[in-house]
Amino acid sequence: MAIFHHNLFFTSFLIFCKILEVYSRGPVYTPPDVERLTDRFSRLSVNQSYNVSFGGSNVHVTNNGTSVDLSLDKSSGSGLVSKNKFYYGFFSASIKLPAGFTSGVVVAYYLSNANVFPHNHDEIDIELLGHEKRRDWVLQTNIYGNGSVSTGREEKFYLWFDPTQSFHDYSILWNNHHILFLVDNIPVREVIHNNAISTAYPSKPMSVYTTIWDGSEWATHGGKYPVDYQFAPFLISMTGIEMEGCISNQKNIAPSCSRRSLTSLDPIDGEQFAKLSSKQSTGLEWARRKHMFYSYCQDKNRYKVLPPECNV
């Protein structure tokens, strides 16, 4: 009987700890139903889509080429760069993040042409920032156009799931009409291409990057919580690679796909991707109301005069 009571107490204690863990991470939210953009595009193998950018010894292709592991250790981070450059398109990857103490670790899925246009580059960023709290990751989004790096356009979100337990889709839709940032197909941010932001709207061909690196100097309160390498290596796994859009050729000749009008011959820039559906609008409102905790358009300490697109 004593053994029974001991086992019952131990089981109850474990259940209590699990409940405490869930509640310590905040409320659990169920996202609204939205269209699955990731179902509209073909999956690519790692070798079809990427080359190694840096840290080759920390890059390991797995599952017959359908997925890849990237790691950060004391010697190096690691990264991939797309074989093609794109004028616009839909870009997505399913990523599982490292668990444990990840302060200062930065996982980035982004588009950039900084290597080609060092003084007036474009960039569209999804950055996942390890946090000083043991299980928290922060999602940060940002854009630059034509070298507009003096104006940070960051927005930050808490995720509504544990990104270390399973794979989740992180996606970017970029065309002449708007830029969408999506998490598990839920839009979390829309940047509409209008006159207010036109000079800072990404417009030149970009490569797609996936990287993991040490962001200690800026990612956690100016380096207050640097990467602790006693927990290394920090490993991410990526699968579900999707890249579809207007490919730039090596001779910089204007592409055959047009950015000038809505046309069924140019689907990523076409009518079905020109604006949000009603379900996507509901998802966007939900994500921003429930999970966004920072927007540059609300940061009047940083900007005495807010960037023009904030007033539209």
Say which of 123, 190, 242, 309 is annotated catalytic: 123
Please pick, among 21, 35, 127, 132, the residue that the annotation labels catalytic.
127
- Cβ density class 271-305: b for 16+ within 10 Å, e for less: eebeebeeebebbbebbbeebbeebbeeeeeeeee
Distance CA 184, CA 147 (A): 30
Give the separation between CA 191 and CA 34, rounded to whole angstroms: 19
- Alpha-carbon span 142 to 207, nearest angstrom: 16
Structural tokens at position 274: 């020109």
Q: Angle 145-149-153 (CA atoms, 0-180°, nearest 5)? A: 80
Active site residue 123: yes
CA distance 197 to 52: 33
Tokens of 138: 């922060």
- Which amino acid is residue 12, in one-letter code? S
Is 309 a residue of the active site?
no
Q: Which residues are known to be catalytic?
A: 123, 127
